[in-house]
Amino acid sequence: MAGKTRAGEFRALLDGPPGASRAVLERRTRWLLIVAVGGANLSGALFVLLFATFVMPDPPGLADPGRIRLINLAVFSSYVVFGAPIGVAWGMRLFQPLRSLAGHQRDPSEAERRAVLRGPLRLMAMQGTLWGFGAAGWAAIDLDFSPLLALKVSMITLLGGITTCAIVYLLTERLLRPIATVVMASRPAAHDGWFGITPRAMLAWALGSAVPLLGLIATALSALVVSGMSVTQLAVTILALGGVALLVGFQVTYIAARAVADPVKSVREGLAQVESGDLQAAVPVYDASELGLLQAGFNHMAAGLRENERLRDLFGRHVGEDVARHALEHGVALGGEVCEAAVIFADLQGSTRLAATRPPGEVVGLLNAYFGIVVEVVTAYGGLINKFQGDAALAIFGAPQPVEDPAGQALAAARALSRRLQAELPQLLAGIGVSSGQVVAGHIGAEKRLEYTVIGDPVNEAARLSDVAKSTPDRLLASAAVVSAARTAEAAHWRLGNTITLRGRTARTRLAVPFRTPRRHGLRRLLRLLSQR
């Protein structure tokens, strides 16, 4: 746990505080680059100096080895003193476009994008140029003393330069991530082979294997060419090269591995968020390699999932969650299937007069409140709002998904709906009819435009019952058939009434009405008074 905490603190140090401005990120990155690149060059220079002076033996026959070492030390020190400011100034010039980007909240220009995305490569090329000039100048000075000495210092300098340039590339790529995230937020970069995983792996190989092996080869050649090289000198040289290979190779391989692992880890964490149901997951895109394409691809996938979820939510709101789920699981095709279902039809009374006597906004508000209650009640009892028809609502119990007691659930929902409408919207009068029986449930319309609905005699019967219910005290009627189909617990709340012929139907329908709540309350109140006496 402590290791994870320290790793998180180190990442926060490199990436800056969350939500930092562009100016803060640019300033932090600039100083971190100066420190990191300067430290890498200083370490590389010290390695070259120590290796050339104390580890690698000098060729035989030098007239005055002590004087030559002092001259080499002076030349080396002078180049470091004058070359360091040149490198800093050159590096700042490479990243000059970032200064203008930091002060403005706008999309980066192409020059600013290149300054960030090609920054590691350009900085490595600049460092290679400085190290190349240094190796050539140092070799030219030592050429007057001995060609073998010039070959020795130039070879060691080039090996140190290769190591330093690779370290600079990997460090720069890591330090530029916060700025790269800003630059690539507006438009991810197209993949470029110069920034791929392969170049990074080759750099790690160059530092971890190639440079030490070249050093060992040079040591072996020196032992063959230079006469008088002792076993001790050869052993010291090999041990020094091996130690440097172990130390530097481990560090550079770790940096290169993290450069690959960090983007993959961010995508893995994003996938875990999506798997847990968080479709707002997004990962920062800061890499111009295949890994950047992976990061951008994840964000595109998450955006597509959010869009699909939004469409699914809209689809569910329009046709009902059960219909949407059924369509997604079984597909959508014209036609239907016969099933047993119960139907509630609720229709407002006097809606035309309501629209004529009240402002349109108020009418819409009342209708939304009315339909809101209908949706809440029907959904709570396991039903499906099939459609809204003007000021009427059609609810189904038993299609497209079967329910345990479609008739009983419809009757219970109708009673609850009647109570809530009378209590919460007394200014609206709605007739409620309940029926059940066999219906055909499915999609009707055309291939390019269809809707889910139920067709059958129970639908027509429920609509006619709602018309008759408008003239009853409770404004709620059911058919005797739906009461008989319900389980005993719900059927006990209903009593059978008259038999009538509904409009547009030939068969007669026996009505059922709920036991009126006020009568039950009145009986209970009377029994309580008698018990008190």
Query: What's this model's pTM, rounded to 2 decimal places?
Result: 0.52
Q: Which amino acid, 290?
A: E
Rounded Cα distance between 144 and 62, Å, is 11
Is the Cα torsion angle 491, 492, 493, 495 positive or negative in sign?
A: positive
Output the tens digit of pLDDT for each of the chain's 533 residues: 444 455 455 455 555 556 667 677 777 777 877 888 888 888 778 877 777 777 766 666 677 777 777 887 887 778 777 777 888 788 777 777 777 666 666 777 777 777 777 778 888 888 888 888 888 887 888 888 877 777 778 777 877 787 788 778 878 877 877 777 777 766 665 555 555 677 767 767 776 677 777 777 777 776 676 666 667 766 777 777 677 677 777 777 777 777 777 888 888 888 888 888 888 888 877 766 677 777 777 877 887 777 766 766 554 455 455 544 554 555 455 556 788 889 999 988 876 677 667 787 787 888 888 888 988 998 899 888 888 777 888 888 987 778 889 999 999 999 999 999 888 988 888 899 999 988 887 766 565 655 667 788 888 888 899 989 988 888 899 999 899 999 888 989 998 988 888 887 778 889 999 986 444 443 343 334 334 43
* Domain definitions of the chain by residue range: 18-294, 333-523
Rounded Cα distance between 206 and 427, Å, is 84
Q: What is the pLDDT of residue 519?
A: 42
Q: Which amino acid, 25?
A: L
Q: What is the pLDDT of residue 524?
A: 42
End-to-end C-alpha distance for the chain, whole angstroms: 74
Residues with Cβ within 8 Å of 441's Cβ and at least 6 positions away in sequence, in order, are 336, 337, 339, 341, 396, 399, 400, 452, 453, 454, 455
In 10 A of CB 322, how many CB atoms? Answer: 20
SS3 332: coil
CA 425 to mean position of chain CA atoms: 44
SS3 509: strand
Q: Which two tokens stand for residue 169?
A: 């590339």
Q: C-alpha angle with apex 184: 182 to 190, nearest 5 degrees?
A: 165
Rounded Cα distance between 126 and 93, Å, is 11
- Exposed e or buried b per residue across 36-48, where buried means at least 16 C-beta atoms within 10 angstroms of its C-beta: bbeebbeebbebb
The reply to whether CATH 3.40.50.300 applies to domain 333-523 is no
CB 469 within 8 A of CB 346: no
Give 440's strand partners. 455
Q: What is the pLDDT of residue 138?
A: 79
Closest to 81 (Cα-Cα) out of 113, 42, 39, 120: 42
Q: Which two tokens stand for residue 315?
A: 């689809």
The alpha helices in 95-146, defined as continuous H runs, are 96-102, 110-117, 119-142
Q: What is the pLDDT of residue 518?
A: 43
SS3 335: strand
Q: What is the pLDDT of residue 191?
A: 54
Closest to 178 (Cα-Cα) out of 313, 21, 302, 300: 21
